[in-house]
Amino acid sequence: MNDRENTAALLDRTRHLLRGDNTRETRRALRDILLARRTAYLPARTLDRLPEYALYLCMALHAELDNEEEESIETAELAYLALTESLLQYPDTRLDMTRHRVFLLYRFQDYLADTWSDVFMQHQRQTQPLQARSTALDALSLMALSDVHELEREHPEQVAADNELNDIRNMIHLPIPPRDEDLSDASLMHKLLRTHLKTKYAL
């Protein structure tokens, strides 16, 4: 099978298994997607299944299926990129994709901190790594809070009833609601991080 056919088969199998209760086989299917995470991105996009691919990467992160931290970093980067591309290209997925991007930015920010530093604080990362990492974690929290704010504006009832989102918002030690300048900074960081990752993975 070529990459397109293989990606379609992987996504179909994972979708089918998620409807059942075979946890072992589902984890195996998610691992298979991890093994193909780089080659599956473009086919998933051409198949109009990028949101599905993004969610499966997020599931794999939550299940801690990667063997090495470097693999988890790559998974988190591709998940971020796929979620961001999906919410831009598929408006009907905006609520779900943004929600999962919040979870990714907050719960797995350790995997994205060095990536953020590479974009915004490359020199400081080399000379002041601890300070650069601390700044990166704060920035990723701001990006997550900005997403929550957008969801509250667009889908107030759904967010009010979403305990997970509200827990994250309450755990982020930043002004609520975010200041206009913070929202502007977060929007710019999303754009630049997306551009960086598209270039890094030639996507």
Global pTM value: 0.95
Burial code (b: 16+ CB inside 10 Å, e: under 16) for 127-163 equals eeeeebbebbbbbbbbbbbbbbbbbbeebeeebeebe
Share of the chain above pLDDT 90, in %: 84
Tens of pLDDT, residues 64-92: 999 999 999 999 999 999 999 999 999 99
pLDDT at 128 over 90: no
Please state, in angstroms and rounded to a whole number, the distance separating the CA atoms of residues 139 and 114: 12
Show the domain range for 138: 3-200
Domain count, the chain: 1
